[in-house]
Structure 1
Amino acid sequence: MARILSNGQLTVEIADVGAYGGTRFDWSGFITGVTLEQGGHTFCVPESLIPGQGTGGSGLCNEFGISRAIGYDDAAPGEWFPKFGVGLLQKQKDEPYSFVGEYPLTPFPVTEEWTTDSVTYTVEPLECRGYSMKLVKTLKLEGNRLDIFYYVENVGMKPLRLEEYIHNFVGIDQADVGPDYVLKLPGSPRVTSPESSFTENLLKVEGNHLTWTGGAERQFYCKLEGWEQAEADYYWELVHKSSGAGIRESGDFAAERIALWGDKHVISPEVFIDITILPRHSKGWRRSYQFFTC
């Protein structure tokens, strides 16, 4: 099931808390659909088009700690560790944490406050071996912009060191990946650390634009650099030339890194924020998505 935010310009579908049910992505504000009413353009697609494959991601869904699982390394098999935005997970074996792994779960309690154009989630903490975090997350519509506000409070005894990003599963009007898409970044972007020669040959950089040389026959992944010193009011912008529709992400924090993942039907620029919060301290930040037609 899903609930709706709408203001006449944007309609946003948000999955009910717990509908996702996995142990990777934040359960609160799990956005499964965005429609720009001007032109009826859509932007969100699932991670996988094949039922049962992938990790259940869809649309605009965020994750805490993909590579820094709080409390995992010092937990013994059978002990619990927190996956913020999800709940307490139980370590099964003495092996490295896997963000795609399956772990027994005790979900965090979540309360919700809805209006027609906003929703606020309060994710209450469950103390776990000195780690404890309260999350307040608000989604609000302003014209053709969706704002996401985060407020994190460290109510535990140990410091919190993790990262957060949104896995933007974007397919504009469900168009497949190909030369019709243009990804714009500040500065002089360049592709680094491609996971394969397929990725390296698929992507082409011209100035501040990245394009695709053809269709994506399989998944691709790389890091994007060269934007770090540029002064700009956005992180990335994706336009589908045939439809004239686009999406732009901005925010009020300095990105720690930007990566790019995708498949035949989906393009996912990923903007990471680095988070360190001492006990009895807090941190807030904002992400904004603007949906437009050229």
Structure 2
Amino acid sequence: MLKQILTVCLLLSCLQVVAQYPEARISNGEIEARLYLPDAKEGFYRGTRFDWAGVIPSLKYKGHEYFGEWYAKHDPKRHDAITGPVEAFDPIEYDSAAPGETFIKIGIGTVKKINNNPYRFNAPFELVNTGTWKVRKKADRIIFIHKLNDGKGYSYTYTKTVRLLKGKPELVLEHNLKNTGQKSINTSVFNHNFFVIDSQTTGSDFTVTLPFKIENKPTGKKLMDFSENKMTYLRDLKKGESTMEYPTGYSGDKVEDYDFRIENKKTGAGVRITADRALSKFMYWSVPTTLSPEPFIKVDADPGKEFNWAIKYQFYNTEK
């Protein structure tokens, strides 16, 4: 009897650990995904770098896993303790704010400036006002609505829908930013795309394909190779190693430049990423546990106006 009681207690303890953060699941019959929900007190991510909406710890298609925790230990307030195709907006009014005053991070809230140093995304900023969040769930999608008014002329309603397309192995991130304030919103947003594909080590089994011919060479770490429009690894990355690349060759104002593919030749997992807005900037980062194409989009909305954009992920199997 004692053994049974201990077993039950252990199971309940495990369940509590798994379910300690608010979450939801969606499916379209092709893809199954799990999402963490924004919550200022109990949320999986409570940092000040990334948009709190659309945190995906797991997305499965045809036996392949595309996301997951890529770091050793989780801290909800750490700037990069987050998973999935998460997005970060450039700060608004950071440069004009004095230390102790606030600036804005869309999808997060108002944040207190620490000092007059240039903005650093990993600084320990204090979150002052998280605004309000509403979450609406359907079988194949989750709609996140974030409203914020900073009391100084900036106000917005930001709606982000994470949707699985009917009958297709596709995920779409749909965004609407409505400027309800008195000041124009001018910023940029990028998707960090923390891919953890089938738990494979970042390295020679991966190929990243861009829609343009790469004009420059990799950095001097001798970890990657650029050939035509492809980025490959010379070997698997070791613990402590990382890449930070800035491939050039895109125009900065073409929608067609926002079109990337990642494939793993060992497992056959592939994903294509496209958007309906022009690629304004591109970077690429990786460590042994995750690889991240980082495409940027410019976001501009005058008072009373709206700005919309969508990012699509098409998942597939390659021929092995």
Q: TM-score, normalised on structure 2? A: 0.84
Unaligned runs of at least 5 residues, structure 1 = none
2:120 pairs with 1:98? yes
* Cα distance change, pair 268–190 in 1 and its aligned pair in 2 (3 A): farther
Partner of 2:160: 137
* Cα distance change, pair 140–231 in 1 and its aligned pair in 2 (3 A): closer
Q: 2:249 aligns with which of 223, 226, 233?
A: 226
Which is higher, the Rg of structure 1 or of structure 2?
A: 2
Q: Kindly, what percent of the aligned residue pairs are identical?
A: 27
Query: Contact (CA 8 Å) 1:219, 1:262: kept in 2 or not?
Result: yes
CA distance in 2, matches of 1:128, 1:165: 26
* Cα distance change, pair 128–202 in 1 and its aligned pair in 2 (3 A): farther
* Cα distance change, pair 92–260 in 1 and its aligned pair in 2 (3 A): same
CA distance in 2, matches of 1:231, 1:79: 37
String of CA shifts for 1:51-104, please: whole Å, max 9, x gaps: 457621212111111xxx211111122211111100111112222221111122
Query: Contact (CA 8 Å) 2:27, 2:164: kept in 1 or not?
Result: yes
CA shift at 1:47, angstroms? 4.5
Query: Contact (CA 8 Å) 2:70, 2:196: kept in 1 or not?
Result: no
Query: Contact (CA 8 Å) 1:46, 1:57: kept in 2 or not?
Result: yes
Structure 2 counterpart of 1:72, which letter?
Y
Q: 1:212 aligns with which of 216, 221, 233?
A: 233
CA distance in 2, matches of 1:234, 1:92: 35
Q: 1:46 aligns with which of 66, 69, 74?
A: 69
SS in 2 for 1:168: coil
Partner of 1:24: 49
Query: Contact (CA 8 Å) 1:7, 1:116: kept in 2 or not?
Result: yes
Partner of 1:287: 311
> Which fold has the larger relative contact order, with Cα–Cα distance below 8 Å and residues 6 or more apart in sequence?
1
Higher strand share: 1
Partner of 2:94: 72
Partner of 1:122: 145
CA shift at 1:178, angstroms? 1.2
Partner of 1:167: 192
Partner of 2:86: 61
Partner of 1:81: 103
* Cα distance change, pair 191–58 in 1 and its aligned pair in 2 (3 A): farther
CA shift at 1:190, angstroms? 4.0
Partner of 2:172: 147
String of CA shifts for 1:145-168, please: whole Å, max 9, x gaps: 001110001111111111111111
**What is the RMSD of the two structures over their aligned residues, measured on CA atoms?**
1.9
* Cα distance change, pair 161–92 in 1 and its aligned pair in 2 (3 A): same
2:187 pairs with 1:186? no
Q: 1:260 aligns with which of 278, 284, 287?
A: 284
Q: TM-score, normalised on structure 1? A: 0.91
Partner of 2:36: 15
* Cα distance change, pair 89–181 in 1 and its aligned pair in 2 (3 A): same
CA distance in 1, matches of 2:242, 2:191: 18
CA shift at 1:233, angstroms? 8.1
CA shift at 1:180, angstroms? 0.6
String of CA shifts for 1:122-155, please: whole Å, max 9, x gaps: 1112234222221011111012000111000111
Structure 1 counterpart of 2:96, which letter?
D
CA distance in 1, matches of 2:280, 2:300: 12
CA distance in 2, matches of 1:207, 1:84: 36
Query: Contact (CA 8 Å) 2:173, 2:311: kept in 1 or not?
Result: yes
Query: Contact (CA 8 Å) 1:221, 1:262: kept in 2 or not?
Result: yes
Structure 2 counterpart of 1:137, which letter?
K
* Cα distance change, pair 233–11 in 1 and its aligned pair in 2 (3 A): farther
Partner of 1:3: 24
SS in 2 for 1:164: strand
CA distance in 2, matches of 1:33, 1:169: 11
Partner of 1:243: 267
CA shift at 1:174, angstroms? 0.7
